Chains A and B, each alone.
Chain A
Amino acid sequence: MTLIDALLQFLSDPMNWSGSRGIPVRIVEHLLYTFVALGVAFAIAFPVGLLIGHTGRGAVVTINVGNAARAVPTFGMLLLVVLLAGIGFLPALIALVIIGIPPILTSTYAGIRGVEGSTVTAARGMGMTESGMLLRVELPIALPTVIAGLRSATLQIVSTATIAAYVSLGGLGRFVIDGLGQRDYGEMAAGAVFVAILAIVLDVVWVLLSKVAVSPGVSGRLGKIPKTAGRTTRSATEPA
Chain B
Amino acid sequence: MDWQYLSSNSALIWSKLVEHLYLSITPILIALVLSLLIGLFSVSFPKVYPAVLALSSTFYTVPSIALFVMLPGIIQTNILSPLNVIVALSIYSVSLLVRNVVDGLRETSADVRQSALSMGYGGIRQLWEVDLPIAMPLIFAGLRVATVANISMVSVGALVGIGGLGELMADGFRRNYLTPLLVGLVLSVVLALTADLVIVTLQRWLTPWAKFARQA
Direct contact of A and B (CB under 8 A): yes
Q: Specify which chain B residues have a CB less than 8 angstroms from the CB of A203 in the assembled complex.
A: 57, 61
**Interface-forming stretch among B32-40, B124-132, B148-156?**
B148-156
- Would you give the shortest CB distance from B44 to chain A, in whole angstroms? 19
Select A163's contact among B50, B54, B159, B172, beta carbons within 8 Å. B159
Contact residues of B between 165 and 187, Cβ < 8 Å to A: 165-166, 169-170, 172-173, 176, 178, 181-182, 184-185
Q: B112 at the A/B interface (Cβ < 8 Å)?
A: no
Instruction: Summarize A's interface: helix, strand, loop or mixed.
Output: helix
Residues of B in contact with A, size category: 35 or more
Please determine whether B173 and A167 come into contact, CB atoms closer than 8 angstroms: yes
Please determine whether A4 and B73 come into contact, CB atoms closer than 8 angstroms: yes
Q: Specify which chain B residues have a CB less than 8 angstroms from the CB of A195 in the assembled complex.
A: 63, 65-66
Q: B42 at the A/B interface (Cβ < 8 Å)?
A: no
Q: Specify which chain B residues have a CB less than 8 angstroms from the CB of A75 in the assembled complex.
A: 152, 155-156, 158, 163, 166, 169
How many cross-chain pairs have Cβ atoms below 8 Å apart between A and B? 134
Q: A19 at the A/B interface (Cβ < 8 Å)?
A: no
Please determine whether B65 and A71 come into contact, CB atoms closer than 8 angstroms: no
- Give A74's nearest chain B residue, CB to CB: B152
**Interface-forming stretch among A53-61, A77-85, A137-145, A222-230?**
A77-85
**Residue picked from A3, A179, A189, most chain B C-beta under 10 Å:** A3
Given contacts A167-B173, A189-B70, A189-B73, contact A159 B63 (CB under 8 A): yes
The 28 listed contacts between A and B (C-beta, < 8 Å) are A71-B152, A71-B193, A71-B196, A72-B152, A75-B163, A76-B155, A76-B181, A76-B185, A79-B169, A79-B172, A80-B169, A83-B173, A83-B181, A84-B178, A159-B63, A163-B65, A179-B69, A180-B69, A191-B66, A192-B66, A192-B67, A192-B69, A193-B66, A195-B63, A199-B63, A200-B58, A203-B57, A203-B61
Residue positions of A touching B, CB distance < 8 A: 2-4, 7, 68, 70-77, 79-80, 82-84, 155, 158-159, 162-163, 166-167, 173, 176-177, 179-180, 185, 188-189, 191-193, 195-196, 199-200, 203, 239-240
Other A-B contacts than A75-B169, A188-B69, A203-B57, 8 sampled, CB-CB below 8 A, are A72-B152, A75-B152, A76-B188, A80-B169, A80-B181, A162-B66, A189-B73, A192-B69
